[in-house]
Amino acid sequence: MANNTDPSSSSSGASTEQNPLDESQGESAGLPAKSSVETPSRIEPYALSRAAANDSRIVRNWAPLGTVDAGAIADCDPAGLVQMRNETWCLDWWIGAEDRWHHPSIDAAVRQRRIGDSPVLETAMRVPGGDIIQRVFGVRATSAVSDGSLWDDSAVIVEIENLTAVPVALALTIRPYLLDGIGSITSLGSAGSVISVDGAVAAVLSKSVARRVVGELGTVATRLANADDEQPDGTSTSAASCLEGAFVVALPHTAVVRILLPRSTRNEASSRSKKSSAQKPAPTAQWDAPDAGAIDAGWAAHTKQAARVELPDSTFDRVVARSESLLLLAATDEFFAASGTATAALRAAELCDTLVRVGLTEPLGPIARALLGQQRLRGSIRMPDRSDATVALLHVSAPLLAGKQQELWAEDLVGPVAQAIHRLSKGHGVASPSLLRSAVIALGRVAPSLRAVGQPEVADAAEELASTLWESVGLSAAARP
């Protein structure tokens, strides 16, 4: 496990106690003097800046980040801007090089790639002397709390590494933006290495903040370029909820700064406030989390049993492998509860169908138990939007009833599956053509599994219903599963 100790402490570069914005030390620190290049007053996120530059619609192009147990908890855009889900702010990273301040959202020399096939993103920005690398990924992290307890939760780790030959300044900027629009920040505070937004811990750095610039949206980049900074600790508020803050640390040659972004508990806090005043612990300056290499290896282990495609063009192989990790991120309660044009029942059916097709069986057991927990006396499986996820239960039951623990699963699933088949035969649980097509596939898939656990009559009922529904959805015999 990597921890939050300062990775630059053994570096031969600039001292970590150096003020990154002190012009008297600017040359030795490799920091920009006041640049003749005009700094844009308002630096928008990648999606907004590209839409404005091209006079086009906003293109929502970003990747989910998270863990298998928590699912997707954040998103990252092509410039490395990170937004924690359910939050109204984002984390940006600006680099003070020897020529000027560089901003990934609007700089041209920015590239992004995945590390391996896992949801670990690496963004590189060219500055004089080489590249600054940002890596971002979801983890399970821990932190020692002052009362002796342990904070243990999913989080996002951001790593910034200096691959240039000279030290630079790193400004970790908390901004009142979503990835595709305006957000809000009413209060912004920092104490040592801990940054808080609206009273909640938002980010914990691996080293203390050296200087900071906090102000209304549109003022911070210019003040930073003019070295109009302030002491590192304090709290600022804004009635307009448009605060923005740049928190600056030195980033010597070869050094790495790590940032912990805890999973948002905003919705949980709202629920708790209605029930009790108990506060959930928050991470402190002492925290531990795996590094990017360990996370990539972990994702490889999760997907090693999944289906593999080998084609002459390896690009397609990578697409399949990367899609499998994204499917694991989606297989959580949050996916089913999310709002959208499709019902939760259809999303559940399509997700479970896809997990079965690619051989990702690890999440199927928890999904099956969750669905069984929602099944009512008459057989319906009520989702958060009140749609019926009966079809999803059939999809997940097929591999579980045919797997190594089939006897155990037979005790739990045979009765509910029989009830689900009867419900579908009455026309319930198939509220759309897409769900009806999925039901045909699920019925054909679960029938052999039912025979494998000694339930031929239930299997016959599934096959008869599949044949009856077959003609109604207009599928050809060749397309039959």
Tens of pLDDT, residues 217-244: 999 999 999 999 999 999 999 999 999 9
- Per-residue pLDDT tens for 39-55? 776 799 998 988 887 77
Of 323-327, 402-406, 419-423, the poorest mean pLDDT is in: 323-327
Residue 441 has pLDDT above 50, yes or no: yes
Percent of the chain with pLDDT over 70: 79
Q: How much is the pLDDT for 109?
A: 92
For the segment 394-418, the average pLDDT, to the nearest whole number, is 92
What is the three-class DSSP state of 8?
coil
For the segment 433-453, the average pLDDT, to the nearest whole number, is 92
What confidence tier does 386 reach under pLDDT thresholds 50, 70, 90? confident
For the segment 191-196, the average pLDDT, to the nearest whole number, is 97
Q: How much is the pLDDT for 362?
A: 75
Q: How much is the pLDDT for 206?
A: 97
- CA 478 – CA 155 distance, rounded (Å): 46
Of 348, 339, 454, the residue nearest 406 (C-alpha): 454
CA 252 to each of CA 96, 97, 136, 333: distance values in angstroms, whole numbers, following the listed order: 12, 11, 20, 42
DSSP E strands in 290-420: the ranges are none
Residue showing tokens 């009922």: 461
Q: The whole model's pTM is what?
A: 0.72
Greater model confidence, 86 or 303 = 86
- Per-residue pLDDT tens for 324-374? 666 677 666 555 555 556 788 888 888 888 888 877 777 788 888 888 988
For the segment 166-174, the average pLDDT, to the nearest whole number, is 97
What confidence tier does 8 reach under pLDDT thresholds 50, 70, 90? very low
Quick one: tokens of 258?
């790590």
Q: How much is the pLDDT for 45?
A: 92
Greater model confidence, 143 or 319 = 143
- Mean pLDDT of all residues in the chain? 83
CA 347 to each of CA 274, 342, 463: distance values in angstroms, whole numbers, following the listed order: 30, 7, 24
Residue 428 has pLDDT above 50, yes or no: yes
Of 13-27, 44-58, 100-114, 289-303, the poorest mean pLDDT is in: 13-27
Q: Compute how many other C-beta atoms are within 10 angstroms of the C-beta atom of residue 254.
A: 17
For the segment 63-81, the average pLDDT, to the nearest whole number, is 90
Greater model confidence, 343 or 172 = 172
Residue showing tokens 């084609």: 311
Report the DSSP pairing between strands 101-102 and 90-96. antiparallel
Which residues make Cβ contacts (< 8 Å) with residue 148, sequence separation at least 6? none
Greater model confidence, 480 or 344 = 344
What confidence tier does 209 reach under pLDDT thresholds 50, 70, 90? very high
CATH topology of domain 2-293: Beta-galactosidase; Chain A, domain 5 (2.70.98)
Percent of the chain with pLDDT over 90: 52
Structural domain spans, the chain: 2-293, 331-479
Greater model confidence, 358 or 100 = 100
Q: Are 121 and 135 in contact (CB under 8 A)?
A: yes
CA 291 to each of CA 5, 141, 297: distance values in angstroms, whole numbers, following the listed order: 13, 11, 10
Residue 307 has pLDDT above 60, yes or no: no
Which residues make Cβ contacts (< 8 Å) with residue 472, sequence separation at least 6? 436
Q: How much is the pLDDT for 9?
A: 40
In the chain, what are the helix, strand and coil shares in percent, each to the nearest 5?
A: 35, 25, 40
For the segment 247-267, the average pLDDT, to the nearest whole number, is 93
Greater model confidence, 187 or 476 = 187
For the segment 154-181, the average pLDDT, to the nearest whole number, is 96
